[in-house]
């Protein structure tokens, strides 16, 4: 799995940022940002 990360990052043009091992609170912030971005991406804009 780890050997595939650089190839995936290159293909999808992103730079991975890892959480610090002793800072569990960072993971929640990252997941919340992803959840918010995903909901905005799939949100339907309705014109009234």
What pLDDT digit, counting tens, does each position of 26-36 carry? 666 667 777 78
pLDDT tens-digit readout, 15-26: 887 767 776 666
Res 46: pLDDT: 64
Percent of the chain past pLDDT 90, that is, above it, reads 0
Based on C-alpha coordinates, what's the Rg of the chain?
A: 15
Say yes or no to pLDDT of 6 above 70. Answer: yes
Greater confidence (41 vs 14) lies with 14
Res 12: pLDDT: 87
Q: Which residues contact 19 (CB under 8 A, 6 or more apart)?
A: 26, 27, 30
């Amino acid at each position: 799995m780890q050997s595939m990360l650089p190839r995936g990052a290159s293909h999808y043009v992103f730079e991975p940022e890892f959480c610090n091992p002793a800072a569990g609170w960072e993971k929640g912030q990252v997941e919340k940002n992803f959840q918010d971005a995903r909901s905005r991406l799939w949100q339907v804009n309705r014109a009234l």
